[in-house]
Amino acid sequence: MLEPKRKTADLSGKRVLVVEDDPSIAIGLRINLESEGYVVEVADDGEKGLELARSIEPDLIVLDVMLPKRNGLEVLHDLRGEGRTMPIIILSAKAGEMDKVAGLELGAEDYVAKPFSLAELLARVRAALRRGHAAPPERRRGIVFGDVEVDVAARNVKRGGEPVEMTAREFDVLVCLVSERGRVLSRDDIFRRVWGPKHHGTPRTVDNFIQQLRAKLEVDPQEPVYIQTVRGVGYRFDG
């Protein structure tokens, strides 16, 4: 990590909470954020991070996804559910895009993938602090369409109030579609986002998962209302 050369004077004194269980990353972030003039607190697991966020009310949180005791998405879900609107930047080492999708759906301000550029992260912190707190968006209340409720943080789905059994991959495909509601996604788009760039598959792989989702969530899977086929292109969520 390169040391930043100058402080951000107009933001000096802003309180930043870093929730990260990797000591080397946490120490590096503390040193460089403090050199920018921020007041920095660090927590090494999700429970401590949640407690600190509630007690000190930081101006911004840098939040890792993969944490002991309570993962970052659960922390994010709880904070937004409590009406706390400080900007939160998600960090994740996962190769796929589903952490990003889930984090933004839950109300994260921004997302940075590991390994990250320190200069980029500091720039995103500055930008988020300048924008300040935002009003809670509708999406933080959860995803609802028809009689279906999707809890992104808990990774569960209910239909008519009853739990829907769903595999991890089915859930990820659903969130991928819902997060881009109204927009057509090609099969390649869906495969890349859900399975990641290193996996190999065929368009039929995505088709099979779409059929499974329709069977579980549509009133009539043969005449779907929510998960639409766009012939020659891919799929669109219309909920």
Q: What is the pLDDT of residue 197?
A: 64
Answer whether 7's CB lies under 8 Å from 36's CB.
yes
Average pLDDT over residues 191-197: 77
Q: What is the pLDDT of residue 95?
A: 54
Domain count, the chain: 2
Give the structural domain span for 152. 142-237
CATH of the domain at 225: 1.10.10.10
In this prediction, residue 135 has a pLDDT band, given cuts at 50, 70 and 90, of: low
Residue 80 lies in a domain: yes
Q: Which two tokens stand for residue 196?
A: 């990641």
- State how far the alpha carbon of 203 is from the alpha carbons of 41, 81, 129, 181, 233, in Å: 46, 37, 42, 20, 11
Residue 136 lies in a domain: no
Burial class (CB in 10 A: 0-12, 13-18, 19+), 153: buried
In percent, the amount of the chain with pLDDT more than 90 equals 45
Q: What is the pLDDT of residue 190?
A: 87
Residue 4 lies in a domain: no
Angle (CA) 180 184 186, round 5°? 110
Q: What is the pLDDT of residue 4?
A: 47
Judge if 151 and 170 occupy the same domain: yes
Residue 118 lies in a domain: yes
Judge if 29 and 68 occupy the same domain: yes
CATH of the domain at 91: 3.40.50.2300
Mean pLDDT in the chain? 85
Residue 2 lies in a domain: no
